[in-house]
Structure formats: structure tokens, C-alpha cells
């Protein structure tokens, strides 16, 4: 590795992790440490192994602390779990995390749902890990345009593609250490936990909704085969999804 380039630990998971591995390969850079998700729920670990040139490859359950201390930066490329404070402090310059929202909006879980329900600005962010979840200084961001035809599914797909593009666009800056640190204004935006999603998806048949509010809820949970918005009538429970298409003026 060239002396003017940082040493990298890449925590790679899912399709985004694979695309990031391909960017390293195409740029001719090696990573000092490749960390794979031991659960491998999407079955991408083998492809990632075969794509990126890495000095050491391990699964997260066998993470070598001494090697993580020797890298400049660790990249969390679509990493599914929270990094503990002890581990976050190991790389010389810190961790950069890929988060699929336009921070400080929609910190935490289910960004694609809350972006629609809260009508929040949408986008993707690469940020430094901080003391709070998704609250660290912002390195790079890219907004994503949305419309009425978007659903939880389309925002998920848009975020995955935009995250890879954001990383590739700023690849050289990251590899040479030219990485901004812009503090977040945590008085703005929102934070949500995974446990909030189910109740927030419930439609109360006795409640009055604005049309915009109800349509937003329905399209936010339209992401088959995942559960949809739901309601209870008597002793029966139902799910409901929606499709919105733009048409020419009638």
C-alpha cells in the first residue's frame, strides 16, 4: 500500500458491502483487514472474500483487536450491528459508518419508513462514529429526491445505490485522509428504535386521518414480503399495501 494512503479495515455486509469491495478492487487498493458478518444472512460473504484483496480476513466473532489498532480507519459498509465504544476507539483515526438517511433526520432504525411518514428530507450519509447512535460528525452526504410513487421498498433500493455512489465519489478523499468532520445539529431530525415500527404501522379504524397521512403510512410499509400496515376489525387482523402511479391530467 502506498505510503500516502490510509490503512483500512473494511467491515462489509450485504450487497453494499460487496459493491464497496469491488470499488477497492477496481482502484487497485488492498485493505489491511476485512471483517465479515458471521450470520451472512444475504449470502454475500464468499463473493466479498473473492473480490477484495485483504491482508487478513476474519468474521466479526473472531475480530483481532491488535490488528484493528494498527489501521487508520475502519469502514462500516452496511454493517448490521452496533459497534461498542471500546472497539470504536481502536482505529487510529476512528470509524466511518454508512447510514441510509440524511442525518440528523431519521437516526436509528427503519429510515425508509420514517422518511415517508414524517415527510423528512431523504438521502445517505457517511459519518464518524460518536458517543450516540448515528450522531457522530458528518463526513459526506447526498440528498435523494422522492415522490408520491415512492414506497418503503423504493427508498430502500435508492439508498443502497446512492450509498455506493457516495462512497465511490469520495473514495480518494477517504483513502488520503481528507475527510471532513461536520457536527450534527441534534436539535433537528429524529431518532427511532426498531420496536417502534409495528405500533406506528397500525391503522385505527375509529381514528380520523388526513388523506396525506394515511397514504404516507400505507406506502411507507409497502415493501413485500415484509409486513405491511395493519388493522384489526373484531377478532381479525388485516394487512394493507398501496400502489401510487403518476398519471396525466384528466
Question: Region 151-166: what's the mean pLDDT?
Answer: 98
- Asked if residue 249 belongs to a domain, the reply is no
Question: Region 24-53: what's the mean pLDDT?
Answer: 97
Residues 177 and 117 reside in one and the same domain? yes
**Mean pLDDT score of the chain:** 96
- 188-203 burial, b for 16+ CB within 10 Å, e for fewer? ebebbeeeebeebbeb
Residues 177 and 225 reside in one and the same domain? no
pTM of structure: 0.94
Residue 156: CATH number of its domain: 3.40.50.170
Work out the angle between the directed axes of helices 14-27 and 152-169 (0-180°, nearest 10). 20
Cross-strand bridge partners of residue 141: 125
Domain of residue 55 covers 8-192
pLDDT at 1: 46
CA gap 246, 223 in Å, rounded = 19
Residues 107 and 158 reside in one and the same domain? yes
- Asked if residue 147 belongs to a domain, the reply is yes
Residues 229 and 187 reside in one and the same domain? no
- Asked if residue 148 belongs to a domain, the reply is yes
Q: What are phi and psi of 113, to 5 degrees?
A: -70, -50
pLDDT, tens digit, 9 for 90 and up, residues 21-32: 999 999 999 999
Question: Region 93-114: what's the mean pLDDT?
Answer: 97
Cross-strand bridge partners of residue 237: 232
Q: How large a percentage of the chain has pLDDT more than 90?
A: 96
pLDDT of 151 higher than 80:
yes
pLDDT of 93 higher than 90:
yes
pLDDT of 48 higher than 90:
yes
pLDDT interval class at 4 (50, 70, 90) = confident
Q: Is the distance from CB of 102 to CB of 124 less than 8 angstroms? A: yes
Within 13 Å and on the Cβ side, how many CA atoms surround 10?
33
Residues 151 and 186 reside in one and the same domain? yes
Question: Region 12-26: what's the mean pLDDT?
Answer: 98
The CA-atom distances, in angstroms, between 194 and each of 44, 84, 110, 220 are: 24, 18, 7, 15
Residues 168 and 228 reside in one and the same domain? no
Residues 146 and 230 reside in one and the same domain? no
Residues 139 and 199 reside in one and the same domain? no
Residues 112 and 169 reside in one and the same domain? yes
Residues 122 and 217 reside in one and the same domain? no
pLDDT at 15: 96
Residues 140 and 229 reside in one and the same domain? no
pLDDT of 250 higher than 80:
no
pLDDT at 3: 59
From 177, 192, 207, the end of a domain falls on 192
Question: Region 212-231: what's the mean pLDDT?
Answer: 98
As for how many domains the chain has, the answer is: 2
pLDDT of 197 higher than 80:
yes
The distance in angstroms from the start CA to the end CA of the chain is 62
Provide the 3-class DSSP secondary structure of residue 19.
helix
pLDDT at 249: 82
Amino acid at each position: 500500500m502506498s505510503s500516502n494512503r490510509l490503512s483500512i479495515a473494511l467491515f462489509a455486509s450485504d450487497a453494499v458491502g460487496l459493491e464497496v469491495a469491488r470499488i477497492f478492487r477496481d482502484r487497485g487498493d488492498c485493505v489491511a483487514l476485512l471483517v465479515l458478518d458471521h450470520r451472512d444472512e444475504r449470502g454475500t460473504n464468499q463473493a466479498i472474500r473473492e473480490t477484495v484483496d485483504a491482508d487478513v480476513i476474519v468474521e466479526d466473532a473472531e475480530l483481532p483487536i491488535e490488528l484493528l489498532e494498527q489501521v487508520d480507519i475502519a469502514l462500516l459498509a452496511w454493517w448490521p450491528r452496533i459497534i461498542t465504544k471500546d472497539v470504536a476507539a481502536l482505529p487510529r483515526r476512528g470509524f466511518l459508518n454508512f447510514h441510509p438517511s440524511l442525518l440528523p433526520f431519521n437516526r436509528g432504525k427503519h429510515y425508509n419508513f420514517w422518511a415517508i411518514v414524517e415527510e423528512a428530507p431523504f438521502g445517505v450519509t457517511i459519518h464518524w462514529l460518536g458517543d450516540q447512535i448515528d450522531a457522530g460528525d458528518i463526513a459526506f452526504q447526498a440528498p435523494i429526491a422522492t415522490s408520491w410513487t415512492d414506497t418503503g421498498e423504493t427508498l430502500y433500493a435508492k439508498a443502497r445505490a446512492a450509498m455506493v455512489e457516495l462512497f465511490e465519489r469520495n473514495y480518494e478523499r477517504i483513502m488520503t485522509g481528507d475527510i471532513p468532520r461536520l457536527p450534527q445539529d441534534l436539535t433537528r431530525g429524529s431518532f427511532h428504535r426498531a420496536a417502534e415500527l409495528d405500533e406506528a404501522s397500525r391503522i385505527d379504524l375509529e381514528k380520523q386521518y388526513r388523506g396525506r397521512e394515511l397514504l404516507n403510512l400505507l406506502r411507507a410499509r409497502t415493501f413485500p414480503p415484509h409486513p405491511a400496515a395493519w388493522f384489526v376489525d373484531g377478532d381479525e387482523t388485516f394487512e394493507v399495501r398501496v400502489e401510487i402511479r403518476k398519471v396525466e391530467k384528466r
